[in-house]
């Protein structure tokens, strides 16, 4: 049994939580859930950082005390964790006595050892970043972190001898290649350590900033918020500088397995925190993992732009587990990503509704309809069965190591190879034809292997989709959802009862109304993006600007080009009719096409081939009313003759929704 202690950063309470806070918390929770399923001794810590000048200023603007402000905002972060199904073991607040007592004990211990000293200090101070900067650090005379103004400050302060431990940190990084992750972030820290590492100012005079933990050896000062906050990882698990006063839990938990942080606080964690630990005689965490940032609809998330994504709205609109899946699947953990509602919509439909939901619903419904609703027995392997089994073995072997390395997206990508293969397996083996031909043994074998893929998916997805994964396991007749035999297509119980029920993930037909309203409001309120700076032509042979007399004439301004105009008579040539989809199946030779049987109120239904497979599962379309171009000349599409065209909404990016009627109408009704 391994000891796995996972932490998020403690979140600063100057405002309500946003999607970035949800991202880190969900990633930490998924890691912990995986390790619990592996039988490890797991502890997850999160919490709130409640001291510092920004908190003091926010409280003053609201006309309440800093403590009242922190009490209120901290509850918002607790509520977020419940909302996104995070099962943290502890939640620490830096205003709690259990934390403040440890901070003061550490300060006194380092002061007694001579690692903290007083000195006069002057420099450029950023209130927004709550730190000093040197002249060379400033960008256009402003704070490099926040872009806000700085002020020259001269005052006595207390310093931690951080530079004393810089060589020890350099050696630690060399000797522990897995300490900084992902590898792309390591170079940032190594580069910073090539420079001289000075000592760290760890105090603020009360006359300038009073909201903090008082220094035990100088009551005129409070502790710098970063020195205070970083110690939460120790105070929460019972640390004390005096070994006799430590909780038994401390030796069990430390060192942490994972500190998950955003890339913007990598430097403070890798340099400040590691040197503090060395001064205390403690090893750093086994892995300090810095993930990237989320952009929003192609723009940096910012309150001034009005595009901060509220995770509460996303859960209401899409569901908590859909949010968990999207955040961990959409981008590699460690890189930057762009959040867009259309991407969320598409990912939910493509992966969860069309792929996994479709596979489960097809396999369960056919087993229920044709095989008595119980788990069928396996038959002898064919070549196709062996290929499917080999892919299952590959997933079973590769998923765990990727997940434990926080490579969630890659792990899910690997699993989806098997899920997609399961759908293609059903298409190629055609269980409907086997049933029609009375080949019951082979029918059972095909559906059993399809159900086994669902079992593997349920087991591996449980850390990300805890509720839906258990729901799928229940449908498969598994009272529990064990993490065993995930590399084998033989893990279900012969004869166990199956339950099809409703689809696991209902398909989204349009963006939720709340999302559409929020997008419209954001677009209306957001300031326009600055125009991009013109690029120099690579063929320019002189650096001198062109004069008005030699510049090329600008194109005359005019309206943006739109669709070519047509006459009404042109439109009148198109016969649009409503059609009722009676049957739908995947095209045997084209992954993106579906073959539809549509009733247009004629003597015989028509066969129409439509490029809807990337958006709709076939069975979802049965019973829907669509708009059809009824007088289109027949055309063969990959060997199947199509007699019409189904209309849909969506441009080059793909189909978003079908064009349909807002009320029930008879097949063949004229559309005009």
pLDDT value of residue 521: 59
Report whether pLDDT(288) > 70. Answer: yes
Domain with residue 629: its CATH number is 2.40.50.140
352 touches 620 (CB < 8 A)? no
Alpha helices (H) in 437-512, listed in sequence order:
440-461, 466-475
Any domain includes 41 = no
Residues 582, 597 contacting (CB under 8 angstroms): yes
Q: Using CA atoms, how far apart are residues 188 and 504, in angstroms rounded to an integer?
A: 43
Instruction: Name, in order, each residue with C-beta under 8 angstroms of 299's C-beta and a sequence gap of 6 or more.
Output: 305, 307, 529
User: Residue range 114-125: average pLDDT?
Assistant: 91
Residue 159 lies in a domain: no
Helix or strand run (H / E) with residue 29: helix 19-37
449 touches 425 (CB < 8 A): yes
User: What's the pLDDT band for 309 if we cut at 50, 70, 90?
Assistant: confident
Q: What is the pLDDT of residue 302?
A: 61
Whole-angstrom distance, CA of residue 604 vs CA of residue 376: 37
pLDDT category at 518 given cuts 50, 70, 90 is low
The pLDDT of residue 300 is 67
Report the pLDDT value the prediction gives residue 396, as an integer from 0 to 100.
97
User: Is there a domain that residue 474 lies in?
Assistant: yes
Regarding whether 458 and 365 lie in a shared domain, the answer is: yes
Structural domains counted in the chain: 2
CA Rg value for the chain: 31
Give domain status of residue 257, yes or no. Answer: no
What pLDDT, in 10s, does the model give residues 520-562?
555 455 554 444 444 333 333 222 222 222 233 333 333 334 4
CB 489 within 8 A of CB 447: no
> Of 517, 535, 558, which residue constitutes the final position of a domain?
517
> Is position 198 within any domain?
no
Calculate what percentage of the chain has a pLDDT beyond 70: 89
Q: Which residue has the higher pLDDT, 666 or 367?
A: 367
Tell whether the torsion through CA atoms of 301, 307, 308 and 309 is positive or negative.
Answer: negative
* 79: pLDDT strictly greater than 80: yes
Per the structure block, which two tokens stand in for 142? 């402003």
State pLDDT tens for residues 450-465: 999 999 999 999 999 9
* Helix or strand run (H / E) with residue 392: helix 383-404
Q: Are residues 507 and 358 in the same domain?
A: yes
Residues 395 and 480 in one domain: yes
Rounded to whole angstroms, the Cα distance separating 66 from 50 reads: 9
Neighbours of 115 (CB within 10 A): 20
Task: Report how far residue 310's alpha carbon sits from residue 15's, in angstroms, rounded to the nearest whole number.
Answer: 12
Does 363 share its domain with 508?
A: yes
Rounded average pLDDT over 249-269: 95
For residues 200-213, b (16+ Cβ closer than 10 Å) or e, as one string? Answer: bbbbbbbeebebbb
How would residue 569 be classed by pLDDT, with cut points 50, 70 and 90?
Answer: low
Tell me the average pLDDT across 279-287.
97
Per-residue pLDDT for 3 more than 50?
Answer: yes
Q: Is the pTM of this model over 0.85?
A: no
* 507 and 586 assigned to the same domain: no
Q: Which of 23-27, 381-385, 511-515 comes out lowest in average pLDDT?
A: 511-515
Residue among 416, 410, 402 nearest 350 (CA)? 416
Least confident of 52-56, 80-84, 408-412, 559-563: 559-563
pLDDT of residue 153: 85
Look-up: residue for tokens 């899920």?
A: 419
Q: Are residues 489 and 637 in the same domain?
A: no
pLDDT over threshold 70, residue 199: yes
The per-residue pLDDT for 536 is 37
444-454 mean pLDDT: 98
Q: What is the pLDDT of residue 524?
A: 52
449 touches 388 (CB < 8 A): yes
Coil, helix or strand at residue 452: helix
Q: Tell me what the mean pLDDT of segment 435-443 comes to.
A: 96
| 323-362 residue pLDDT tens | 999 999 999 998 888 888 889 999 999 999 999 999 999 9
Lowest mean pLDDT among 83-97, 307-321, 544-558, 599-613: 544-558
Residue 369: inside a domain:
yes
- In angstroms, the Cα distances linking 571 to 543, 574, 672 are 54, 6, 9
> In which domain, by residue range, is 623 found?
569-671
Cα–Cα distance, 595 to 606 (Å, whole number): 10
**Partner residues linked to 180 by β-bridges:** 288
Same domain, 602 and 494: no
Same domain, 346 and 476: yes
**pLDDT at 555 (0 to 100):** 32
586 and 479 together in one domain = no
The reply to whether 499 and 604 lie within a common domain is no
End-of-domain residue from the set 448, 483, 517: 517
Q: Does residue 483 form part of some domain? A: yes
Instruction: Write down which residue in 483, 517, 551 finishes a domain.
Output: 517
434 & 578 share domain: no
CATH code: domain of residue 409: 1.10.730.10
Pick from 126-135, 210-219, 351-360, 622-631: least confident = 126-135
Residue 519 confidence (pLDDT): 62
Q: Tens digit of pLDDT for each residue in 237-253?
A: 999 999 999 999 999 99
Q: How far, in Å, are 142, 288, 291 from residue 265 at the CA level? A: 19, 11, 10
pLDDT tens sequence across 211-224 = 999 999 999 999 99
- Give the integer Cα–Cα distance in Å for 452 and 432: 19
Mean pLDDT of all residues in 371-377: 97
pLDDT over 60 (residue 638): yes
The pair of three-digit structure tokens given for residue 394, joined into one six-digit string? 């590959």
Q: Tell me the pLDDT of the chain averaged across its residues.
A: 88
pLDDT given for residue 651 in this prediction: 60
Q: Are residues 454 and 359 in the same domain?
A: yes
- State the burial class of residue 373 (Cβ atoms within 10 Å of its Cβ: 0-12, 13-18, 19+): middle
């Amino acid at each position: 049994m391994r000891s796995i202690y996972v932490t998020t950063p403690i979140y600063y309470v100057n405002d309500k939580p946003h999607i970035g806070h949800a991202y880190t918390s969900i990633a930490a929770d998924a890691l912990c859930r995986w390790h619990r399923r592996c039988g490890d001794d797991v502890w997850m810590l999160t919490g709130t950082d409640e001291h510092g000048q920004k908190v003091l200023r926010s409280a003053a603007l609201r006309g309440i005390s800093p403590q009242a402000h922190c009490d209120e905002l901290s509850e918002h972060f607790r509520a977020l964790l419940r909302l996104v199904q995070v099962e943290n073991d502890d939640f620490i607040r830096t205003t709690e006595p259990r934390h403040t007592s440890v901070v003061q004990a550490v300060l006194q211990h380092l002061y007694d050892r001579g690692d903290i000293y007083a000195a006069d200090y002057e420099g450029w101070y950023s209130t927004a970043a709550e730190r000093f900067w040197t002249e060379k650090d400033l960008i256009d005379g402003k704070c490099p972190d926040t872009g806000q103004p700085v002020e020259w400050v001269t005052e006595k302060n207390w310093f931690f001898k951080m530079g004393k431990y810089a060589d020890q940190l350099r050696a630690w990084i060399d000797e522990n290649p897995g300490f900084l992750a992902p590898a792309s972030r390591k170079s940032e820290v190594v580069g910073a350590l090539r420079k001289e590492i000075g000592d760290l100012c760890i105090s603020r005079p009360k006359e300038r900033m009073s909201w903090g933990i008082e220094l035990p050896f100088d009551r005129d000062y409070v502790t710098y918020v970063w020195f205070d906050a970083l110690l939460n990882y120790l105070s929460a698990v019972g640390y004390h500088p005096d070994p006799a006063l430590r909780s038994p839990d401390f030796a069990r938990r430390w060192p942490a397995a994972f500190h998950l942080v955003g890339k913007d606080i990598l430097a403070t964690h890798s340099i400040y925190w590691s040197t503090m630990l060395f001064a205390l005689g403690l090893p750093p965490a086994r892995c300090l993992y810095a993930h990237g940032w989320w952009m929003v609809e192609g723009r940096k998330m910012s309150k001034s732009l009005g595009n901060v994504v509220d995770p509460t709205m996303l859960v209401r609109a899409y569901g908590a587990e859909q949010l968990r899946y999207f955040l961990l699947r959409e981008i590699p953990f460690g890189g930057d990503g762009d959040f867009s509602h259309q991407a969320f919509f598409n990912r939910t439909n493509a992966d969860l509704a069309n792929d996994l939901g479709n596979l489960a619903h097809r396999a369960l419904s056919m087993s229920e309809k044709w095989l008595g609703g119980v788990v069928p027995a396996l038959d002898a392997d064919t070549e196709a069965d062996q290929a499917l089994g080999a892919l299952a073995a590959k997933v079973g072997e590769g998923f765990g190591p990727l997940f434990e390395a926080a490579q969630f997206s890659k792990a899910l990508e690997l699993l989806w190879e098997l899920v997609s293969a399961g759908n293609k397996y059903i298409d190629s083996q055609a269980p409907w034809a086997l049933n029609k031909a009375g080949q019951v043994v082979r029918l059972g074998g095909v559906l059993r292997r399809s159900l086994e893929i669902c079992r593997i998916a349920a087991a591996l997805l449980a850390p990300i989709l805890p509720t839906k994964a258990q729901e799928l396991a229940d449908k498969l007749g598994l009272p529990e959802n064990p993490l065993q035999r995930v590399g084998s297509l033989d893990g279900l119980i012969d004869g166990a009862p199956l339950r099809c029920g409703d689809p696991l993930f209902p398909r989204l037909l349009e963006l939720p109304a709340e999302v559409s309203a929020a997008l419209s409001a954001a677009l209306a309120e957001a300031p326009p993006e600055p125009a991009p700076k013109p690029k120099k032509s690579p063929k320019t042979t002189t650096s001198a600007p062109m004069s008005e007399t030699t510049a090329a004439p600008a194109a005359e301004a005019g309206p943006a080009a739109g669709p070519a105009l047509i006459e009404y008579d042109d439109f009148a040539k198109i016969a649009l009719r409503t059609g009722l989809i009676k049957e739908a199946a995947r095209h045997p030779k084209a992954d993106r096409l579906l073959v539809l049987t549509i009733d247009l109120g004629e003597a015989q239904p028509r066969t129409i081939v439509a490029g809807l497979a990337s958006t709709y599962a076939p069975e979802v379309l049965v019973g829907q009313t669509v708009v059809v171009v009824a007088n289109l000349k027949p055309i063969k599409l990959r060997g199947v003759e199509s007699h019409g065209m189904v209309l849909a909404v969506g441009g080059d990016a793909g189909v978003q929704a079908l064009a349909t009627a807002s009320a029930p109408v008879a097949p063949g009704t004229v559309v005009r």
